[in-house]
Structure formats: structure tokens, C-alpha cells
Chains A and B, each alone.
Chain A
């Protein structure tokens, strides 16, 4: 069964460092998302991406964040200068054309120390 794959599963980084979280969406999907979940809190929308551009972004997605689809398979989230409060689980999701439900990857746990 097709699935969304995220790497790494856990990333530890020092405050101020750049991190790149990677996602491989389901192959024929066209809509891509990043969500964040701080431990014990709700799943928060960060950004949606379609046709090689950002469709919508939340107020969380400030200038420190960027997304990219560098090739036909990967979808990345970059945090330029990490802060302690960026520590969270980051979920990638994808959706197919005509489909409405999003399928989630297993997440990357980011720990900023």
C-alpha cells in the first residue's frame, strides 16, 4: 500500500542551526502539507503546496520556514535558524487529485537543544 515516508524519524539539533525535514509523498499525489504537533498539543497547519508553489500558510510559517520540491519525489521543510520552541513532531501529508482526505507520514520528531 502506498504511503508517505518521512526522514529522519528523530532529529536533534542545536539552537540556531538549520534543519531540513524530508518527505516522500504518495507518488501520484499533487497536494502536499506540513503540520506541526508540539508534545501534548493539537495538530497545527503550517503550509500547503500545490503546482510548485505555496497555496496557503499559517501565521506559524514565518520567514524562518521554507518548503521546496527539489525533484519529482521529495518535499522538504527547512527551518533556517531553529529555536527551542520549534521542538515538535512534524508531519508531512499528501492528497491526490480529486481526493479530499490527506494521508500522513509517520512524522519527524525535532528536538532543539
Chain B
């Protein structure tokens, strides 16, 4: 079983819509969860992290964590064309080493 799983997409949403990105992880002991954004040819850039069950909001972004279901998601409200990128879910293991999912490619159409 893969450590971190994401739908590879592509996910396409119209400008102004809500984009919903999902991620599941296999290590029930994981404590820290991250969403990174990666533009083509660039390095991953941290968007948000979440440690506790529930929702965490930061501007147009909301991260949601459900440890019982081993599920973490990212919602992007009022999606903009500049949000078009690959979104990487990452989870820290027992050594605090980060493992990434394959990423979901998001396209926001004007």
C-alpha cells in the first residue's frame, strides 16, 4: 500500500469555483500533514499544514483532517487561473521525514 495516495487528476474547475483535493495516508501514527503547491519546473512551496482533526482556514484555502479515516483534504475557494498547479499532499512519518503523494494536477479555466 502506498504511504500517501492522491488522485493524479487532472482536476479542472472554472474560475471562481471551489476546488477540492483529497489525500489518504497509510500510517495511522502520522501526526503532521502538509499541502504543497508545485508549478511546472519549480520546487514545492508550502501552502498549509495541519496537525489536529477538523478544519484549518487560511485565506482562500481550507485544510481538513480526519485522523480516524486517515484522510486529509484541501479546499480552494474562489479558484483563480494562477492556482493552476500540481498540489502535493505530504505526511510526516515517525522520524518526521516527509513522504509525498503523487500530486493532483489542478487547472482553473478562465
CA of A48 to CA of B34, assembled, Å: 18
B contacts with A, residue count (CB < 8 A): 22
From 62 to 106 in chain B, residues with beta carbon under 8 angstroms from any chain A beta carbon are: 88, 92, 95-103
Contact in complex: A42, B100 (CB < 8 Å): yes
Contact with B along A86-109 (1 / 0, CB 8 A): 000101010100001111111100
Q: Is the interface of B mostly helix, strand, loop or mixed?
A: loop
Q: Known A43-B88, A100-B92, A101-B34; judge A107-B99 contact (CB<8 A).
A: no
A contacts with B, residue count (CB < 8 A): 23
Contact check: which of A45, A91, A100 meets B44 at CB < 8 Å? A91
CA of A41 to CA of B99, assembled, Å: 14
CA of A28 to CA of B96, assembled, Å: 17
B41 to chain A, nearest CB (A): 8
A41 to chain B, nearest CB (A): 8
B49 touches A (CB below 8 Å):
yes
A31 touches B (CB below 8 Å):
yes
CA of A91 to CA of B96, assembled, Å: 17
What residues of B have a CB within 8 angstroms of the CB of A27 in the complex? none
A55 touches B (CB below 8 Å):
yes
B32 touches A (CB below 8 Å):
yes
CA of A103 to CA of B34, assembled, Å: 12
24 A–B contacts, CB within 8 A, in A order = A35-B100, A42-B100, A43-B38, A43-B44, A43-B88, A43-B100, A43-B103, A45-B98, A45-B99, A55-B97, A56-B95, A56-B97, A89-B41, A91-B43, A91-B44, A93-B98, A95-B96, A100-B92, A100-B96, A101-B49, A103-B46, A104-B44, A106-B43, A107-B43
